[in-house]
């Protein structure tokens, strides 16, 4: 056994009343690639931020080469050789690669920046890492994959011997991912240590030596990658959830039981045929039926968000067809989609609501042309809005209040209400319950179920398996822009969703 | 100040009343500014409240009202049109040259001018929404096109052949004895303001404008064709600028390719003084009317004061700045939770 480079023992961290990490152990050996997996909120990122010096107030102890340490800042951690590459790249897009690498420590000559020396040194460093990237290009001109590589190179350049990679592959295409793995192999050969945090279990199994599994802020397992299967990882990540998820499973299987036996086949409403948007998704063929809730599960960056937007005409596609009732339809803009009876609830409420405007105006806006004559009075509009406010249960039920004054859950109800003034044919929901408390979630789910009863074809796009398990009749799974599975009935389980994503 | 007064009088904290106060707050700050200015000039000058003087104030801002109506549409979309003054001059020149040198009937000249102005507005709309240039840049270019065309057509000369209809609209009076006659141009300005108000406040198109300006992405994701809405507003703004330019030639009795340089800044400051946001979605014609009155009273009052002529401009600038600061401050108070 090699002596660990770094050990963390009994680490606990709370945010207000929420326990993010509960007495967790973790160790890192010199020269290994260590995978860290767990569901959203399992505490992976919190742990790594403690390691990288972002959080310095925690319980427990950290030892670096046997010496007790407590990093006071990221700079402090970096000075001791630990650097982190964040999921959201934080590079300066308008500056060159070299400028990004040097940051504030640019080489100076006679009071001026010594560009020649800077570019030369940066290029030398790049080449030493086996990277063929021109350091005089601006960061923004590089593909995301290369930006990621530069970011890693930058962290190494500023002295990191151990590098923490937070979801490095989530935004990368398959060839870019390959390139990253090759780069990681180079770094490993140079004796560097890496922590690899990822949702993509295949990636984790491919590049790591050992894997640590977190669940609900606790350490549940440490495994040697060679002896581990994907199935085993998923079990460990969600294990024990079977009990808490039981009601959700039951409600969803009940829905299947209703739908399945001998019922007449429901008509396809919205179908896609080889729909492709370069850099986002490709070859998507699917059929959404009347009166069903079709789940679309993927991890962040799986291309599902763009697919949802394309189905509402909010973004152009590159090839493939969208058909409504079997007829090809050109969704050139959102107005076309709305006219065709497609409704869309985007993942970000700020891009769905005019927060400073009144509730009633936000509700009537989508179908204004059908609700009021060209010259209108607000009284008629108010009546329609009040009906919807009651329908979806907006609280407080005051149509003149501006939407920004409502809680998140109630704002989301307004977004739904906007599309219910005319019963939609197709309803595309992107993350409809994310970040909501349990009560509001239940209410939104109830509304969506009611719409299914009315025959609306509903596409539920989400990164939360629970949302799919609780209401979807069947589900597609997307990974890196492609559909990897269709699950229904007993095969629709959290495990299956996560394994295929 | 006006803010607290308003809150006191409608204290009961039930929804509609709170919402009403919140809507009004934007209107109350400019109103307070206007009252302060009127009281000040009334007290410090002898002639301010003369009927003729009050009428003059209206006449002085009448053409500005027409162009400001257009700029209000554009600002509500969170865009800007820097070409309005140049389009005004170009339109006046086109109508007058067609009437004089080419010899078409006056109304044809006017229609052609209006058409040219609208076309330039549509060009602005196209470059802004379809090409994706910022309107600040796109209209900077069309400003030069319009101004250059005016110079090219006139070769720098002043044109005195103004169609009769413009002379009537711009330069004549309803009634004939002095305190009780009303300049037709005031009526024209009020009519344009009224039409603008009705469109913005009582039509679906108007609602789409407010919603687009308030959050363009949300409007788009509600199925609104925001590009068309913005482009239409830019076209309307061009038309209004053209109408203002033609009224102006009627008022002056001549058309020329220079001399309206203040119009752009004057109309934007009048609209913003009235409380319409530069960032879209907030304000309206009522605010613009208020801003025009403030602007007119300020200009007129400073003239009455018989200030040193070289002092007038910077004093006006300082007062404008103070009024704008008060406006912004009042809006911040409004933006804070009113619970």
Can you list the domains of chain A with their CATH numbers? 4-94+138-239 (3.40.50.300), 244-341+424-501 (3.40.50.300), 346-423 (no CATH)
What pLDDT was estimated at residue B18?
Answer: 60
Provide the sign of the torsion angle of the four alpha carbons A263, A264, A269, A270, taken in this order.
Answer: positive
Angle, CA of A273, A278 and A283, to the nearest 5°: 25
C-alpha distance from A392 to closest chain B C-alpha (Å): 18
Which residues lie below 8 Å from residue A461, measured CB to CB, with a gap of 6+? Answer: A296, A298, A304, A305, A307, A308, A347, A428, A429, A430, A431
> What pLDDT, on the 0 to 100 scale, is given for residue A254?
40
Residue A86 predicted with pLDDT over 90: no
Judge whether B25 is closer than 8 Å to chain A, CB to CB.
no
Residues A371, A381: contact at Cβ < 8 Å?
A: yes
Q: Do the Cβ atoms of B223 and A339 come within 8 Å?
A: yes
Report whether A429 contacts A459 (CB < 8 A). Answer: yes
| Token pair recorded at residue A292 | 């069903």
Whether the CB of B210 is below 8 Å from some CB of chain A: the reply is yes
Query: Number of C-alpha atoms within 13 angstroms, CB side, residue A304?
Result: 29
* Residue B221, min C-alpha distance to chain A (Å): 6
Mean per-residue pLDDT of chain A = 87
Instruction: Label residue A253 by pLDDT band (50, 70, 90).
Output: very low
Are A351 and B217 inside 8 Å of each other by CB? yes
Interatomic CA distance for residues B319 and B314, integer angstroms: 9
Distance (Å) from the C-alpha of residue A89 to the closest C-alpha of chain B? 24
**pLDDT tens per residue across span B220-231:** 999 999 999 999
Q: Which CATH number fits domain B31-335: 1.10.260, 2.60.40, 1.10.3470, 2.40.50?
A: 1.10.3470
Q: Side-chain half-sphere of A364: how many Cα atoms within 13 Å? A: 28
Whether cis (ω within 30° of 0) applies to the bond prior to B100 is: no
The interface predicted TM-score of the complex, written ipTM, equals: 0.84
Q: Whole-angstrom Cα distance, residue A411 to residue A351?
A: 12
**Residue A51: which of A147, A153, A154, A160 has the closest Cα?**
A160
The verdict on a CB contact (< 8 Å) between A402 and B22 is yes
Select from B204, B214, B218 the Cβ nearest to the Cβ of A369.
B204
Q: Is the pLDDT of residue A15 over 90?
A: no
C-alpha distance from B194 to closest chain A C-alpha (Å): 15
Q: Is B221 close to A335, i.e. CB distance below 8 A?
A: no
Query: Residue B145 burial by CB count (10 A; 0-12/13-18/19+): exposed, middle or buried?
Result: middle
Q: What is the pLDDT of residue A313?
A: 95
The yes-or-no verdict on residue A263 having pLDDT over 60 is no
**Across A283-295, average pLDDT:** 94
Instruction: Tell me what pLDDT residue A489 has.
Output: 87
The reply to whether residue B221 touches residue A314, judged by beta carbons under 8 angstroms, is yes
Q: Is the Cβ pair B225, A375 closer than 8 Å?
A: no
Residue A432 CA to residue A416 CA, distance in Å, equals 9
In this predicted structure, the answer to whether residue A273 has a pLDDT above a threshold of 90 is yes
Q: How far apart, in whole angstroms, are the C-alpha atoms of residue A37 and residue A195? A: 11
Q: Which of B202, B205, B281 sits opposite A356 (nearest CB)?
A: B281
Q: Tell me the nearest-neighbour CA distance from A336 into chain B, angstroms.
A: 8
Is the pLDDT at A389 greater than 70, yes or no?
yes
Domain ranges of chain B: 31-335
The per-residue pLDDT for B320 is: 84
Residue A173 has pLDDT above 60, yes or no: yes
Average pLDDT over residues A141-158: 86
The answer to whether the CB atoms of A335 and B224 lie below 8 A apart is yes
pLDDT of residue B8: 41
Adjacent-strand bridge partners of A193: A162
CB-based contact, B308 to chain A, within 8 Å: no
Q: Go through chain B and tell me how many residues it has.
A: 339
Q: Is the pLDDT of residue A248 over 70?
A: no
Contact A440, A409 (CB under 8 A): yes
Which two tokens mark B311?
Answer: 């002092």
**The pLDDT value given to residue A250:** 43
Cα A152 to Cα A62, A126, A158, A184, A490: the distances in Å are 24, 11, 10, 10, 43
Buried b (16+ CB within 10 A) or exposed e, B256-276: bbeebeebbebbbbbbbbbbb
β-pairing, A112-113 with A162-166? unpaired
Say whether B19 and A396 touch across the interface (CB within 8 A): no
Q: Tell if the CB–CB gap between A400 and B16 is shorter than 8 Å.
A: yes
Assess A353–B contact: CB distance below 8 Å, yes or no: yes
Separation between Cα atoms, residue A114 and residue A121, nearest integer Å: 11
Which residues in chain B come in under a pLDDT of 50?
1-12, 336-339
State whether residue A358 sits within 8 Å of chain B by CB.
Answer: yes
Please state, as a whole number, how many other Cβ atoms lie within 10 Å of the Cβ of residue A75.
10
Q: If contacts are CB pairs under 8 Å, which of residues 280-319 in chain A contact chain B?
A: 312, 314
pLDDT reading at A501 higher than 70 = yes
pLDDT on residue B7: 40
Residue A285's pLDDT band (cuts 50, 70, 90):
very high
Task: Work out the average pLDDT over A82-104.
Answer: 84
Is there a contact between A114 and A176 (Cβ–Cβ < 8 Å)?
A: no
Contact A368 B204 (CB under 8 A): yes
Q: Across the interface, do A400 and B19 touch by the CB < 8 Å criterion?
A: yes
What pLDDT was estimated at residue A90? 73
pLDDT in tens, B137-189: 999 999 999 999 999 999 989 999 999 999 999 989 998 777 788 999 999 99
Instruction: List the strands of the sheet with A293-297, edge to edge.
Output: A342-345, A426-430, A457-462, A293-297, A474-479, A482-488
Q: Residue range A73-92: average pLDDT?
A: 85
Of A335, A358, A405, which has the smallest distance from its Cβ to B223's Cβ? A335
Which A residues in the span 127-186 are in contact with B, Cβ-Cβ below 8 Å? none
pLDDT of residue A251: 44
Q: How far apart are CA A406 and CA A415, in angstroms?
A: 12
Shortest CA distance from A373: residue in chain B: B204
Query: Which residue of chain B comes nearest to A311, CA vs CA?
Result: B221
């Amino acid at each position: 056994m090699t002596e660990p480079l770094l050990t963390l023992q009994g680490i606990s961290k709370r945010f207000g009343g929420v326990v993010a990490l509960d007495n967790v152990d973790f160790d890192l050996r010199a020269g290994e690639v260590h995978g860290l997996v767990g569901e959203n909120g399992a505490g992976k990122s919190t742990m790594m931020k403690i390691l990288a010096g972002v959080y310095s107030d925690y319980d427990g102890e950290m030892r670096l080469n046997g010496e007790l340490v407590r990093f006071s800042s990221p700079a402090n951690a970096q000075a001791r050789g630990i650097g982190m590459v964040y999921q959201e790249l934080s590079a300066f897009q308008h500056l060159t690669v070299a400028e990004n690498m040097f940051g504030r420590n640019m080489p100076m000559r006679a009071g001026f920046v010594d560009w020649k020396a800077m570019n030369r040194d940066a290029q030398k460093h790049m080449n030493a890492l086996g990277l063929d990237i021109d350091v005089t290009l601006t960061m923004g001109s590089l593909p995301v994959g290369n930006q990621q590589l530069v970011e890693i190179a930058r962290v190494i350049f500023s002295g990191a011997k151990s590098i923490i990679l937070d979801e490095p592959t989530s935004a990368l295409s398959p060839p870019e991912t390959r390139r990253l793995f090759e780069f990681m192999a180079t770094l490993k050969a140079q004796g560097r240590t890496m922590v690899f945090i990822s949702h993509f279990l295949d990636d984790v199994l491919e590049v790591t030596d050992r894997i640590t599994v977190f669940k609900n802020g606790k350490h549940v397992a440490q495994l040697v990658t060679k002896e581990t299967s994907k199935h085993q990882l998923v079990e460990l990540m969600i294990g024990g959830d079977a009990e808490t998820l039981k009601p959700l499973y039951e409600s969803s299987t009940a829905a299947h039981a209703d739908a399945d036996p001998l019922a007449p086949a429901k008509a396809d409403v919205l179908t896609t045929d080889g729909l492709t948007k370069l850099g986002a998704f490709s070859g998507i063929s699917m059929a959404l039926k009347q009166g069903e809730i079709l789940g679309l599960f993927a991890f962040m960056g799986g291309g599902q968000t763009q697919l949802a937007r394309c189905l509402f005409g909010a973004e152009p596609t590159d090839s493939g067809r969208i058909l409504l009732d079997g007829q090809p339809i050109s969704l050139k803009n959102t107005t076309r989609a709305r006219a065709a009876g497609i409704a869309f609830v985007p993942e970000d409420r700020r891009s769905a609501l005019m927060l400073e405007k009144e509730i009633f105006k936000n509700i009537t806006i989508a179908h204004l042309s059908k609700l009021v004559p060209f010259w209108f009075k607000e009284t008629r509009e108010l009546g329609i809005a009040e009906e919807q406010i009651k329908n979806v249960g907006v609280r407080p039920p005051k149509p003149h209040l501006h939407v920004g004054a409502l809680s998140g859950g109630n704002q989301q109800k307004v977004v739904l209400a906007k599309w219910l003034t005319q019963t939609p044919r197709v309803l595309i929901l992107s993350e409809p319950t994310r970040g909501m408390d349990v009560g509001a979630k239940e209410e939104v789910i109830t509304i969506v179920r009611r719409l299914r009863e009315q025959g609306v074809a509903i596409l539920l796009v989400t990164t939360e398996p629970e949302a799919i398990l609780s209401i979807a009749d069947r589900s597609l799974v997307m990974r890196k822009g492609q559909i990897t599975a269709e699950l229904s009935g007993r095969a629709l389980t959290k495990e299956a969703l996560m394994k295929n994503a | 100040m006006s803010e607290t007064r308003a809150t006191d009088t409608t204290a009961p904290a039930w929804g509609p009343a709170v919402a009403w106060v919140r809507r009004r707050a934007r209107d109350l700050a400019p109103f307070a500014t206007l009252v302060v200015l009127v009281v000040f000039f009334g007290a410090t000058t002898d002639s301010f409240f003369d009927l003729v003087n009050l009428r003059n104030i209206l006449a002085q801002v009448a053409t500005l009202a027409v162009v400001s109506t257009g700029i209000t549409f554009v600002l509500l979309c969170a865009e800007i049109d820097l070409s309005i003054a140049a389009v005004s001059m170009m339109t006046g020149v086109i109508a007058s040259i067609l009437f004089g040198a080419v010899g078409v009937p006056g109304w044809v000249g006017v229609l052609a001018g209006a058409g040219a102005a609208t076309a330039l507005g549509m060009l602005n709309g196209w470059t802004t929404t379809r090409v994706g240039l910022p309107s600040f840049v796109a209209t900077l270019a069309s400003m030069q096109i319009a101004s250059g065309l005016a110079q090219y057509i006139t070769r720098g000369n002043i044109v005195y052949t103004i169609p009769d209809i413009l002379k009537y609209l711009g330069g004549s009076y309803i009634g004939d004895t002095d305190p009780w006659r009303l300049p037709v141009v005031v009526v024209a300005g009020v009519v344009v303001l009224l039409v603008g108000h009705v469109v913005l406040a009582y039509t679906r198109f108007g609602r789409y404008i407010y919603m687009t300006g308030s959050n363009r992405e949300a409007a788009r994701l509600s199925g609104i064709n925001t590009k068309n809405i913005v482009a239409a507003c830019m076209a309307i703004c061009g038309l209004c600028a053209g109408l203002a330019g033609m009224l102006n030639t009627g008022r002056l009795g001549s058309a020329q390719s220079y001399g309206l340089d203040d119009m752009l800044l004057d109309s934007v400051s009048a609209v913003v003084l009235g409380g319409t946001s530069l960032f879209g979605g907030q304000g309206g014609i009522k605010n613009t009317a208020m801003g025009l009155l403030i602007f007119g009273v300020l200009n007129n009052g400073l003239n009455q004061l018989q200030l040193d002529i070289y002092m007038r401009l910077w004093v006006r600038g300082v007062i404008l700045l103070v009024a704008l600061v008060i406006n912004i401050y009042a809006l911040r108070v409004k933006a804070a939770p009113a619970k």
